[in-house]
Amino acid sequence: MFGAGYWILVILLNIGLIVLQVFFTIFYSDLSCDYINPIDLVNKLNPYLRPEMALHAFITLTFLLTGNWFTLFLNLPIVAWNANKLRNNDVTLDATEIFRTLSKHQRESFFKLGAYLLLFFWYLYKMIAALID
């Protein structure tokens, strides 16, 4: 259908997501170890939070357009989660509240990282399957 090229593109974008999540996770753990102060953390992370969501939404959209229903289904929970955060206006970090919400952010970041890694292997499988075809 679209062949391996499409899947390679997806994999590359997905690597981007993974890199961003690793970046977030490192910053959160830096904050909990006091290597960075909350003001710097917020200034550094906030510009990337929305693009990360947008990138993921874009990848998911391509599954919709290409009719990869099962892959789309795998990604929907994350889209729903992000959409909910957008709806509640709860996307950006707040330096005054960060220590109370840090564990929540860390958990979220871990889960997303795990999900992206699993998806990575799924995309890899799809790519290989497309290559074999």
Partner 1 sequence: MSGYDASANGHSYGADDGQQGAGGPPQAGAAPRRKGGRRYAAEQYDFNAQNPGMGQGTAQIPADPSQMFVPAGGAPFQQGPGQQYPGVGQPYGQPVAAAGYGDYGAGTGYAQQPSAAPMQQPQQPYGAGAGYGAAAPQSMMAGFPGQAQGINGATKQFSQMSIRALPQVESMDLMNTRPEISDLQAPPPTAILPDNLALTPSPHAATDPRFFRSTINACPTNSGLLKKSKLPLALIVRPFLELTGQDGVPIVTDTIIARCRRCRTYINPYVSFVENGYKWKCNLCGYLNETPSAFDFNQLEQKSADRFARVELNHSVCDFLAPQEYAVRPPTPPTYVFLIDVSFSAVTSGLVGTAARVILEALDQIPNEQSRAKVAFIAVDSSLHYFALGPDSTEARMLVVGDLEEAFLPSPSDLLVSLTDCRPAIENLLSRFNEMFATTQNGSSAMGPALKAAERMIAHQGGKIITLISTLPNLGEGKLTPREDAKLLGTASETKLLQPQNSWYKSFAVECSKTQVTVDMFLFASSYQDVASLSCLPRYTAGATHYYPGWNANNYNDVQRFGTEFTRHLSQEIALEAVLRVRASTGLRMNAFYGNFFNRSSDLCAFPTVPRDQSYVVEVAIDENIGTPFVYFQAAWLNSTHNGERRVRVLTMCMPTTQSLSEMYASADAPAITHYFAAKAAERCLSATLDNAREAVGARVNEIMDTYRKHLLNTNTGASVPLRICSNLRLLPLLSLSLLKHLSLRKSSQIPSDLRSQAINYISTLPLPQLITYLHPRFYSLTDMGPECGLPGDDGQIVMPPTLNLTAAQLQPYGLYLLDDGLIQFLYIGGQAVPQLCEDVFGVSDISQVRVGKMSLPEDLDNDFSIRVRAVIAKSRELEHGKIFFPHLYVVRPDADATLVRWFITSLVEDRGDSAASPSYAEYLQSLKGKLT
- In the complex, the smallest distance separating the C-beta of residue 97 from partner 1, rounded to whole angstroms, is 7
Please give the residues from 4 up to 33 whose contact with partner 1 meets the rule CB under 8 A.
31-32
38 interacts with partner 1 by CB under 8 A: yes
SS3 91: coil
DSSP letters spanning 22-85: HHHHHHHHHHHTTSS-HHHHHHHHHHHHHHHHHHHHHHHHHHHHHT-HHHHHHHHHHHHHHHHH
How many residues sit in the footprint of partner 1 (CB under 8 A)?
14
Q: Which of 47, 65, 96, 132 binds partner 1 (CB under 8 A)?
A: 96
When asked if residue 97 is in the footprint of partner 1 (CB under 8 A), the reply is yes
Question: Max alpha carbon distance in the chain (Å)?
Answer: 54
CA dist 56 and 123 (Å) reads 14
Which span (12-20, 51-59, 94-102, 119-127) binds partner 1, by CB under 8 A?
Answer: 94-102
Binding site for partner 1 (CB under 8 A): 31-32, 34, 37-39, 94-100, 102
